[in-house]
A and B are shown apart, each in its own frame.
Chain A
Amino acid sequence: MDLYIPPDITFVVLTTITLLAAIMALQAKELIYGAISLAISFIGIAGFFVSLDAPYLAMLQIAVYVGAVVVLILFTIMLVRRDEADKDEMGESGQGAAGLWIAGLLAVSIAGVAALAGPNLPTTPPAGNLPISQLGPVVAVSYSVPLIILALLLSGALLGALVLAKVDR
């Protein structure tokens, strides 16, 4: 496999758009322009996925990142006033202990899952150009361990978000 990439015009255009939009997202004076250029940058990354023969990933990139994450960012920009955002709130000590407990539990369960099923992970990736209908079995059967670990992490994050949201009331 050689590392030489042909000067593909799609690749050049996509890279330019993605990088310019990413730079714009960091440099924009108005936060909302930053959010919009972040969305454009995400769409550029989705274009990369399409050019890498992963249309499923590209569509999910658009739906999740552009459709949901950017919306969340817009929400944050518009609803949270800047002086409120700067205030640093310290949680109570009981919460800290509970958080440590949950973090420990999560770490133990993730380590348990990984230790039980880790050696069975396939070391070679599946053959390229997989049709979408075959994607499910590959993810849910061969790569079930990373999937479970991800699910545990996400549920931990969800619990944390619930706790944070509950404190405000």
Chain B
Amino acid sequence: MFLTWYERKLLARIQLRIGPLYAGGPGGILQPIADGVKLIFKEIMIPYKADKPLFLGIPLALVFLGALPFAVIPFGQHWVIANLDVGLIFVLAVESLFPSMILIFAWASNSKYPFLGGLRSLFQQVAYEIPMWISALSVVMLAESLNLVQIVNAQQKIWFLGPAFLSFIVFFIASLAELERLPFDLPSAEPELVAGWFTESSGAIFMVIFLALYMKVYLMSCLITVLFLGGWWGPAFLPQPVWFLLKALVVATFIIIPRGVYPRLRVDLLIRLGWTRLLIIALANVFITVVLLSTGVLSPWGL
């Protein structure tokens, strides 16, 4: 939740502003709470002829889906709620439920801007899921496991950032696109679509949707930490979960920074980047991994 405050502060620094300041605490750190209180007390406007059960239900489902994958994210050697053997696929599968939910919500709000935004979001997320899965594939080959705990354990000696560097780049760009962050925020392009697929949401509904989106940001940074940055491994003077959270925060910072730096892409560029460039780079890294593993330069458990 404090990611919203962090993002606003960071973007303000990029733009030589100060950012939220007056909500109490050092640097206005209580701003998210003030925002939340404000949004709760606002009226929930339900558009005329909107599909009421779906309009109210989908945001809750989004929060549920955003929170669900945290059950398998390992924050430390024993700090994991459910140590699933198929953890990675579980996270990616739950992620793949988002676009249809978003499209249904956009349809339910019975307005054309949300609908256009929902369609764009669907295109984008479905297109970028494929490079994402394939770039995760080379990590899986290196770790010989889909279990997130074992993937982190395999990185005790060397982070997969090294042997799977191209995958890391692809995964990062694809997760920017999945999160609809700039430069891939076509689904919520303000000049064209008001606010994209959540244009019609207001009050607590808007708050819940934003909570889900920021949970997804944090989820993706945790996933990148697990897959490429060695999870909880670090020098022993800090406990494992602290290392994990620090790394995730650094990744989240790099997810946020493009918003203050880059302009928005065009639709055709976006689709071409996803299908022709990222897919090929990800496949190239799969081949690199195969060569590394089969020539014995790398054994599956690190160097």
Determine the distance from Cα of A62 to Cα of B69 in the docked complex, in whole angstroms.
14
CB contact between A68 and one of B89, B126, B145 (< 8 Å): that residue: B126
Determine the distance from Cα of A62 to Cα of B96 in the docked complex, in whole angstroms.
8
On whether the beta carbons of A131 and B107 are closer than 8 Å, the reply is no
- What's the minimum C-beta distance from B7 to chain A, rounded to whole angstroms? 28
When distances are taken between beta carbons in the complex, the residues of chain A under 8 Å from B96 are 62-63, 66-68
Determine the distance from Cα of A66 to Cα of B85 in the docked complex, in whole angstroms.
21
CB contact between A56 and one of B89, B100, B122 (< 8 Å): that residue: B89
The answer to whether the Cβ of B86 comes within 8 Å of any Cβ in the partner chain is yes
The answer to whether the Cβ of B146 comes within 8 Å of any Cβ in the partner chain is yes
The answer to whether the Cβ of B46 comes within 8 Å of any Cβ in the partner chain is no
On whether the beta carbons of B126 and A132 are closer than 8 Å, the reply is no
Determine the distance from Cα of A46 to Cα of B146 in the docked complex, in whole angstroms.
18
When distances are taken between beta carbons in the complex, the residues of chain A under 8 Å from B99 are 67, 71
On whether the beta carbons of B85 and A67 are closer than 8 Å, the reply is no
B residues 133-151 touching A (CB-CB < 8 Å): 144-146
On whether the beta carbons of A66 and B107 are closer than 8 Å, the reply is no
When distances are taken between beta carbons in the complex, the residues of chain B under 8 Å from A39 are 100
- What's the minimum C-beta distance from B68 to chain A, rounded to whole angstroms? 11
When A63-B93, A68-B126 are in contact, do A132 and B103 touch as well, CB less than 8 Å? no
When distances are taken between beta carbons in the complex, the residues of chain A under 8 Å from B100 are 39, 66-67, 70-71, 74
Determine the distance from Cα of A56 to Cα of B92 in the docked complex, in whole angstroms.
12
Chain B contact residues: over half helix, strand or loop, or mixed? Answer: helix
The answer to whether the Cβ of B293 comes within 8 Å of any Cβ in the partner chain is no
When distances are taken between beta carbons in the complex, the residues of chain B under 8 Å from A56 are 85-86, 89, 146
The answer to whether the Cβ of A123 comes within 8 Å of any Cβ in the partner chain is no
CB contact between B97 and one of A67, A78, A133 (< 8 Å): that residue: A67
Mask of A21-60 contacts with B, CB within 8 angstroms, 1/0: 0000000000010001001000000000000000110011
On whether the beta carbons of B86 and A55 are closer than 8 Å, the reply is yes
The answer to whether the Cβ of B283 comes within 8 Å of any Cβ in the partner chain is no
- What's the minimum C-beta distance from A157 to chain B, rounded to whole angstroms? 18
The answer to whether the Cβ of B284 comes within 8 Å of any Cβ in the partner chain is no
When distances are taken between beta carbons in the complex, the residues of chain B under 8 Å from A62 are 93-94, 96-97
CB contact between B122 and one of A59, A66, A71, A133 (< 8 Å): that residue: A71
The answer to whether the Cβ of B104 comes within 8 Å of any Cβ in the partner chain is yes
When distances are taken between beta carbons in the complex, the residues of chain A under 8 Å from B145 are 133
Determine the distance from Cα of A13 to Cα of B93 in the docked complex, in whole angstroms.
23
Mask of B19-59 contacts with A, CB within 8 angstroms, 1/0: 00000000000000000000000000000000000100000
The answer to whether the Cβ of A75 comes within 8 Å of any Cβ in the partner chain is yes
On whether the beta carbons of B97 and A66 are closer than 8 Å, the reply is yes
Nearest residue, chain A, Cβ from B57: A36
- What's the minimum C-beta distance from A18 to chain B, rounded to whole angstroms? 17
On whether the beta carbons of A131 and B85 are closer than 8 Å, the reply is yes
The answer to whether the Cβ of B257 comes within 8 Å of any Cβ in the partner chain is no
Nearest residue, chain A, Cβ from B108: A32
Determine the distance from Cα of A131 to Cα of B146 in the docked complex, in whole angstroms.
11
Mask of B77-109 contacts with A, CB within 8 angstroms, 1/0: 000000011100110111011011001100100
When distances are taken between beta carbons in the complex, the residues of chain A under 8 Å from B94 are 62
- What's the minimum C-beta distance from A168 to chain B, rounded to whole angstroms? 18
When distances are taken between beta carbons in the complex, the residues of chain A under 8 Å from B85 are 55-56, 131-132
Mask of A116-155 contacts with B, CB within 8 angstroms, 1/0: 0000000000000001110000000000000000000000
Q: What are 6 A-B pairs at a CB distance below 8 A?
A: A36-B54, A66-B96, A66-B100, A67-B129, A74-B122, A75-B122
Q: Which residues of B contact A (CB under 8 A)?
A: 54, 84-86, 89-90, 92-94, 96-97, 99-100, 103-104, 107, 115, 119, 122, 126, 129, 144-146
Known: A56-B89, A59-B93, A63-B92. 11 other contacts (CB 8 A): A32-B104, A36-B104, A39-B100, A56-B146, A62-B97, A67-B93, A67-B99, A67-B100, A71-B122, A71-B126, A132-B86
